[in-house]
Amino acid sequence: MAGEKHFSHFDASGNAWMVDVGSKSETFRVAIAAGTVIMHPETFRMVQDGSAAKGDAIGVARIAGIMAAKKVDSLVPLCHPLMISSIVIDFKFMEDGRSIGIEAKVGCKGQTGVEMEALTAVSVAALTLYDMCKSVDKSMVISDIRLLQKSGGKSGTFVREQ
C-alpha cells in the first residue's frame, strides 16, 4: 500500500539487509540522545567530587561514549560506517542527589543519520559509569535512554515531546 510504514532494514521477502544510501544526498545531520544513571546518594557524591576508587568516572565515561559513537558500525549489524564530524557528551548532576543525566550530540555530513551513534554514546557512557562505580553500588539503574531530536535527511526534523 502506498504510504504504508515499514521497517527499512527488511526487504519485501522479510530478509534483513543494509539500506542502500548511495543515491541519497549528503546533508548535515545531527542527533541528540539522553539517558540517566540512578545511584545511591553516597555513590553520587563520590562521582561528583571525583573520589571514586577507579578515578574520574565522568571523564572516563565521556571518552568511552565518544569511542563508542565512532564504532557503531562494528556494534550494530546494519549500520553504515560514518565520518563523524563532532561528538559532545555532557553530564548533569541532578538535584535529587542520586541521578546523573547524560546527553550526547553527534553530527556528520553524510547520506544517513547519526541517531544510532548518539544513542550508543549515551548507552556506553552510562555502562562505563556503572562499571566505574559498581564496587560501591551494584544497585544502580540505567534508564530512559532515548532520542531527543534529530535533523537532516529526507525524514526531516524530529523533536521528542516532553
Helix (H, G, I), strand (E, B) or coil at 108: strand
The per-residue pLDDT for range 71-104, each reduced to its tens digit, is: 999 999 888 889 999 999 999 999 999 999 999 9
> Which residue among the candidates 73, 131, 137, 144 is catalytic per the annotation?
131
In the predicted structure, residue 149 carries a pLDDT above the cut 80: yes
Residue 13 C-alpha cell reads as: 521477502
Q: What integer pLDDT is reported at residue 25 of this predicted model?
A: 76
As a whole number of angstroms, the distance between CA 44 and CA 24 comes to 45
Contacts of 152 (CB under 8 A, 6+ apart): 27, 28, 29, 30, 113
* Alpha-carbon separation of residue 22 from 74, 112, 133, 152, 153 (angstroms): 20, 10, 43, 16, 13
131 is catalytic: yes
